[in-house]
Amino acid sequence: MAAVLDGDRDAFRILVDRESAAVVRACHRVLGDLAEAEDVAQEAFVTAYRSLATWRGEGPFGAWLSRIAVRLAVRQAAKRKTVAWVRPTCERDRDDYLEALPAGRGTDPEGLALRGERRRNVRDAVARLDEPYREVVALRFFAERSLDEIATITGRPLGTVKTHLHRGLIRLRTRLEEGGDR
């Protein structure tokens, strides 16, 4: 990071290479569309590069970057009326996708459709949570951050993070029980 802060672009490329898979994965969990997740991840890296002066160095760079990426992904998801379920884009991808699924009752088309709809409803409901609940829930479940990491990333006390997560999950459950329309 010292080299990056001194303006070394090659050093930033190393950070991008190291963190890109995790950032795309976190965005994909929020958005459900790989191409869109890659676009948002790219935007997160650009935003991070432009905001390097605001990085306090108190936690890992990857955690700070994940926070930026998840926020951008949640904003992107909130812009949509519906969140698209990931669909294979061509015949070969579809075949690879189907082969990667575990055998058994989970591969039936109806079950796949129901799980896809459930994921879509959850992502949409999370995207419509108010702050700070949306951020904490997204960091916990989409970016897979621990409560301690979320406290460090957000600069909030651990107790506050726990409270925000608890209240956010209650609001999320209520929205999902109501059908996600409110």
pLDDT confidence of residue 91: 46
pLDDT digits (tens, 9 = 90+) for 101-152: 444 445 566 666 777 777 778 888 888 888 888 888 888 887 778 898 888 8
Average pLDDT rounded to a whole number, residues 31-47 = 89
Three-state helix/strand/coil letters over the chain? CHHHHCCCHHHHHHHHHHHHHHHHHHHHHHHCCHHHHHHHHHHHHHHHHHCHHHCCCCCCHHHHHHHHHHHHHHHHHHHCCCCCCCCCCCHHHHHHHHHHCCCCHHHCHHHHHHHHHHHHHHHHHHHCCCCCHHHHHHHHHCCCCCHHHHHHHHCCCHHHHHHHHHHHHHHHHHHHHCCCCC
pLDDT confidence of residue 26: 86
* Cα separation, 102 vs 95, whole angstroms: 13
Q: Looking at the domain assignment, is residue 61 inside a domain?
A: yes
CATH number at residue 130: 1.10.10.10
**Residue 164 pLDDT class (50, 70, 90 cuts):** very high
**Domain count of the fold of the chain:** 1
Residue with tokens 């926070």: 67
pLDDT digits (tens, 9 = 90+) for 42-94: 999 999 888 887 777 777 788 888 889 988 988 887 776 444 444 444 444 44
Single pTM value for the model = 0.54
Q: Looking at the domain assignment, is residue 182 inside a domain?
A: no
Residue 95 has pLDDT above 50, yes or no: no
Given a contact cutoff of 8 angstroms between Cβ atoms, the answer to whether 58 and 1 are in contact is no
Q: Looking at the domain assignment, is residue 108 inside a domain?
A: yes
Q: Looking at the domain assignment, is residue 53 inside a domain?
A: yes
Instruction: Write out the residue range of the structural domain in which residue 133 sits.
Output: 2-87+96-177
Q: Looking at the domain assignment, is residue 143 inside a domain?
A: yes
Residue 28 has pLDDT above 80, yes or no: yes
